[in-house]
Amino acid sequence: MPHRTESKTSPRRIQAVMKQRKALELRMKGETYHEIASKLGYKTHTGALAAVNKALDKTLQPTAAHYRALTLERLTTVMQTFWPAMLTGDDDAARTVLHALRDIRQLMGLDAPQKVEHAGNQDNPIRHQVMTVSVGDVTSALQVLADAGAVRLEPNGIQPGNPLDRLYPPSAND
């Protein structure tokens, strides 16, 4: 039997959006998540937190933008208030400023993960080539670079006839 989903305009969904809007409005007035949960009937404060976040993320862009602006203004006021004390060496003020900075970064999305393309773009994909080289080839290449003055070769303490030679015996080309 096909799975049916509830209409986006069903009374239950509309009521849920209105409840999220009210949770966001209460938060904007400075109420705690515990108070919001109690007033709106969420089982725990995390339900109120989820409602506010959902309202911010998806459903109420104008109100969310207003909330972000209001919160940024409040955090800026905190920074302005505690900044001078922080500069004089007050540890508590420094901690408060650091917390406000962290909250501003989170509010503005500055620490959000960035998409990194590891495969190159569609017009110019990254290509890989696997090569097999012998130790003799590497040694010869290093000697050419050393002769040209591009690298300096120094002994590393391993002498011919050491135990590694039994694991990797020199080939006739070396």
62-88 pLDDT, tens per residue? Answer: 677 788 888 899 999 999 999 999 999
Do 67 and 34 fall into the same domain? no
**93 domain residue, yes or no:** yes
What does the alpha-carbon distance between residue 8 and residue 141 come to, in Å, rounded to a whole number?
A: 68
**146 domain residue, yes or no:** no
Structural domain that includes position 43 = 12-59
Do 50 and 73 fall into the same domain? no
pLDDT per residue as tens digits for the range 9-45: 788 888 888 899 899 889 989 999 999 999 999 999 9
**127 domain residue, yes or no:** no
Tell me the CA distances in angstroms from 148 to 108, 144, 152, 155, one per residue in order. 53, 6, 10, 18
**71 domain residue, yes or no:** yes
**103 domain residue, yes or no:** yes
**85 domain residue, yes or no:** yes
Percent of the chain with pLDDT over 90: 31
Number of domains in the chain: 2
Do 70 and 106 fall into the same domain? yes
pLDDT per residue as tens digits for the range 77-125: 999 999 999 999 999 999 999 999 999 998 888 887 877 766 777 777 7
**81 domain residue, yes or no:** yes
SS3 letters across the chain: CCCCCCCCCCHHHHHHHHHHHHHHHHHHCCCCHHHHHHHHCCCCHHHHHHHHHHHHHHHCHHHHHHHHHHHHHHHHHHHHHHHHHHHCCCHHHHHHHHHHHHHHHHHHCCCCCCCCCCCECCCCECCCCCCCCCHHHHHHHHHHHHHCCCCCCCCCCCCCCCHHHHHCCCCCCC
Q: Taking the alpha carbons of 96, 97, 98, 104 in that order, is the dihedral positive or negative?
A: positive
Do 107 and 66 fall into the same domain? yes
